Structure 1
């Protein structure tokens, strides 16, 4: 599980855009966006750098990315 702290997300369109950007890299990725907290949690086989680039290219600034324990 990778957690990103992302700036610039404020609505459901943002959730959709970030989710689509991640799933364009890994169609099987599971994406959970927390708008209030500015966090995006991703379960994916893609690496952090690739996912960070995809989110950045969608227009959202990744401030931090780290691997975290999967709560499930």
Structure 2
């Protein structure tokens, strides 16, 4: 894991990037909360949350059910893939 909370894997299959719609984010604090909850999931290499757009971009080999559970745990609602 680097100093930014990102993990790096070598020799793994290419990473995919998935954009999810998330309801309930309204500020920078919301973005940080969602990002922190997703960054610790196995396989996640990067997370970018955008409250204004209501989206979170997740890079890595991730399971949608895990993403949904982490967003729910953070107090928001994942409404699907964009």
TM-score bin, normalised by smaller chain: 0.7 to 0.9
Structure with greater Cα Rg: 2
Tell me which stretches of 4 or more aligned residues in structure 1 moved more than 4 Å.
none
- Where does residue 64 of structure 1 map in the other structure? 80
Query: Which residue among 25, 28, 45 is the counterpart of 1:29?
Result: 45
**What stretches of structure 2 of length at least 5 have no aligned partner?**
1-16
Pairwise CA RMSD of aligned residues?
Answer: 1.6
Q: Rate the CA distance shift 1:27–1:21 in 2: closer, same or farther, 3 A.
A: farther
